[in-house]
Amino acid sequence: MDNHRTDGLKFSGLRQGMRARVVSVCAHCPDVRRLVEMGLTEGTEFRVVKVAPLGDPVEIEVRGYRLCLRKGEVAGIEIEQVEAAR
Amino acid sequence: MSHCHPATVEESSETALVGLVGNPNAGKTTVFNSLTGSFQKVGNYPGVTVEKVTGAADIGGHKVALIDVPGLYSLEAASEDERVALDVIEGRVRDMRSPDLLVYVMDASNLERNLYLFTHLAEARYPLVVALTMTDMLESEGARVDTRRMSDMLGVDVVPIVGHRGRGVRQLREAIDRNLKSPKRAERDFGFPVALEKRVEELCEQLALAGLDYPTSEVRQALLGGRSDVIRRVEEMPRLREAFEAAKADLETEGPLRPGLEAGTRYDWAAMVQKAVVRRTRPPKRLSPTDRLDWILTHRVFGLAVFLAIMYLVFQSIYTFALPVMDAVQWTFGRLSDLVSPALAGSPVIQSAVVDGLIAGLSAMMIFLPQILILFFFITLLEGTGYLARAAFLMDRLLGWCGLNGRAFIPLLSSFACAIPGVMAARVIPDPKSRLATILIAPLMSCSARLPIYLLLIGAFVEPQFGAAWAGFALFAMHLLGLLVAIPIVFVLNRGLIRGKSLPFVLELPPFQWPKWRDVWRTMFLRGKVFVKIAGTIIVAMSILIWALLYFPRPAGETAIYESQYATLPAEAREKVTQENFVQRRQIENSYLGRFGKTIEPVFRPAGFDWRLSTAILAAFPAREVVVPSLGIIFSLGGDVDQHSGDLRQALSEATWPDGRPLVTPWTAVGLMVFFALCCQCMGTLATVRRETNSWKWPLFMFAYMTALAYLAAVGINQLGRLVG
């Protein structure tokens, strides 16, 4: 995990259409396991489909399905932006 | 179709038991419905709020018991649903053995994540058959699943099924039959490093020798340094701890141990399988139909507009459109009373018990059915098409900050019509903590049964003095009150009273689908049945009890005494009150409930209520809609007055205390309205909460907190009024 550089991207900084990647997942945070089970494993890329009209939650497309997460409840997951390839 | 008794899960020791498992949203209910037809039974698992749905299916000429296991994402048992699901799978539920076969319902349009749970089920060596749903949707998007290839890779039978069209149902039955006779061995190699697997196996054996039976996945997780129960247990046993440390050290020579490897490897395998079995028949469109619909339905302007329109329709249909049906129900029971009444005229007690107790109770129960059925029609429709998830997405911020959930919108809104369907609707909320909080505040929303008392009091005390504008405002304020009070209550509930941790909010937005009408009708029917069976029984029993309290004691010749009392009244008093109304009033005054009202008058006096108002309040505890007729009887106007009755308004504004002070001041009137707004005067709601939470604890708590709140508010308002003058 030490060889990863993060650009300090937070879930609250996600905007519609952005692509991001899970850099690392906190192993001991209680709430993170559910998110990992939902497919947010280390290295997984996802796309931000939409931010809800009231600013939260965020809808992402990960592993071919749509998942909504509250910005404040994903603290155990570190993400980085993926430079758009297309 | 044979019409014999459905086999229950409990009774059948020789009947095979098949469990239906799957991720939430995978289409389990549709598969269950197409296998069982109408042979279904709904109950509760012991001690929890999770519903137990069982049925029977005809498999290869034999009856097979089927259990619809609650949806789950993994075998970690993070939520209450998942805990129960795991208990069912592993045979830990009372009076139930573990299923002989699991049908794993898998969503073809969401294969990767559905395969993740497959790896867990396969590793735990459950006998499995896969039922692959949503293949029709995948096809419409230009892709299909090579089920033969998939079956080879998973090691088990994979049966594509489009349940609501009946496609694949026969094949699934056959596969179940085959696998009950000789189950297949599911794939168990998901690509974990060989060295790791060797260590895991060794440690599992050592743990087993020490009497600790842990699944391999748990041991692997512990070895990789993740959160696990194993670590804690091993700490107590030096020899095992050493073995663990040695295994870790050995593995670390190959590189650092990453806890993420556990889920990561499974998902890598899932992605590999998905890639191998899904064939595209044409390139995907840039925007799927779901994308197009979502552009509107979750749009910041249009999305909210559509949301409001749909909610308005739902609300109107239970608030307004249900009325004619409810009137018809009432009319039917009225006719029934008229029919039965003369036949029982020989015995006034039995006549009154049957008409005012039993039939009134049945009517009070059936009156809620139209609203329940209509609401569940919409809920199943919205849930099944995928819209409910969008509504939750839109509303989550609005409700999430105080510990509720975006989905709480529907139960809370419904509660403005009636809390009974509202409480039942709270089952759309998956998180049990949030669901309980929603149930506990739902009855604070001002339901339609409170409207008559508002209209009566506003008409008598607000409008004449302050005008129509203030009257309108008062009515609006009364409806807002419950909502405003509910917010701090949710805060308090979430900060202490409701135990258990809430899980992080995860909300799937499934692709949009056409409604599956069979599922809609079945859910409506099931909800109606559940209500009548459990809540209905309590409502009828309570109705008979309250009838008795209002009827007894009725000594022989009592009526004659009241009639002679009436004869001695001065002529002008007799002109105002008919003999029948006078007798009725004396009877209620002398009943156990009336006596109780007099006894506790001192309790209500700080709120400015005398024995008459107190008795009306007491009589309204089973159902608040009786308060206006009760007031009618108590003020000698008879029981058929309504909220627009000028006589009742006049009687209330002319009523005085024995010392001549007016009984109801504008302050008392407001206090009385607030009392009715906050008080839990509805046994139907309490019975429904009992059913939905599977315990008496929460309905009792609800009753206590709402009643206390109502009382304190009424006292506060009256005392304030006295200070201000």
ipTM of the complex: 0.91
On whether the CB atoms of residues A78 and A35 are closer than 8 A, the answer is no
pLDDT tens digits along B249-300: 888 888 788 888 889 999 999 999 999 999 998 888 888 889 999 999 999 8
* Residue A23 touches partner B, C-beta closer than 8 Å: no
Has residue B236 been placed in a domain? yes
| CA A49 – CA A17 distance, rounded (Å) | 6
Assign residue B91 the CATH number of its domain.
Answer: 3.40.50.300
Shared-domain flag, residues B62 and B27: yes
* Residue A61 touches partner B, C-beta closer than 8 Å: no
Has residue B159 been placed in a domain? yes
Assign residue A32 the CATH number of its domain.
Answer: 2.30.30.90
pLDDT at position B252 is: 87
Taking contacts as CB-CB distances below 8 angstroms, the residues of chain A near B393 are 52, 57, 59, 68
pLDDT at position A7 is: 62
Cβ count near B438 (within 10 Å): 31
* Residue B289 touches partner A, C-beta closer than 8 Å: no
Shared-domain flag, residues B123 and B266: no
Structurally, how many domains does chain B consist of? 2
Cβ count near A63 (within 10 Å): 22
Of the three residues B158, B181, B204, the one that is the final residue of a domain is B181
Shared-domain flag, residues B136 and B263: no
Shared-domain flag, residues B170 and B260: no
pLDDT tens digits along B572-614: 777 777 888 888 888 888 889 888 888 988 999 999 998 889 9
Domain interval for residue B221: 194-280
pLDDT at position B502 is: 67
Of the three residues B258, B280, B302, the one that is the final residue of a domain is B280
Shared-domain flag, residues B79 and B157: yes
How far from B342 is each of B332, B350, B550, B584, CA to CA, in Å? 17, 11, 21, 20
Taking contacts as CB-CB distances below 8 angstroms, the residues of chain B near A33 are 76, 78, 227
Shared-domain flag, residues B21 and B169: yes
Minimal Cβ distance to B397: which of A55, A65, A66: A55
Shared-domain flag, residues B149 and B264: no
How far from B427 is each of B110, B214, B658, CA to CA, in Å? 24, 33, 51
Q: Which two tokens stand for residue B690?
A: 């009992």
Name which of B477, B482, B394 is nearest B440 in CA terms: B482
Taking contacts as CB-CB distances below 8 angstroms, the residues of chain B near A66 are 508-510
Has residue B705 been placed in a domain? no
The average pLDDT across B563-572 equals 83
Q: Is B526 or B636 the better-scoring residue by pLDDT?
A: B526
| CA B69 – CA B54 distance, rounded (Å) | 9
Of the three residues B181, B203, B236, the one that is the final residue of a domain is B181
Domain interval for residue A32: 11-81
pLDDT at position B11 is: 47
Shared-domain flag, residues B208 and B147: no
| CA B544 – CA B538 distance, rounded (Å) | 10
Shared-domain flag, residues B43 and B163: yes
Structurally, how many domains does chain A consist of? 1
pLDDT tens digits along B396-455: 988 888 888 888 988 998 898 889 999 999 988 888 888 999 999 999 999 888 888 998
pLDDT at position B550 is: 84
Shared-domain flag, residues B72 and B216: no
Cβ count near B278 (within 10 Å): 19
Q: What's the DSSP call for residue B534?
A: I
Shared-domain flag, residues B21 and B151: yes
Whether the per-residue pLDDT at A4 is higher than 70: the answer is no
The average pLDDT across B156-168 equals 92
A38–B73 C-beta distance less than 8 A: yes
B397–A56 C-beta distance less than 8 A: yes
Has residue A70 been placed in a domain? yes
pLDDT at position B501 is: 67
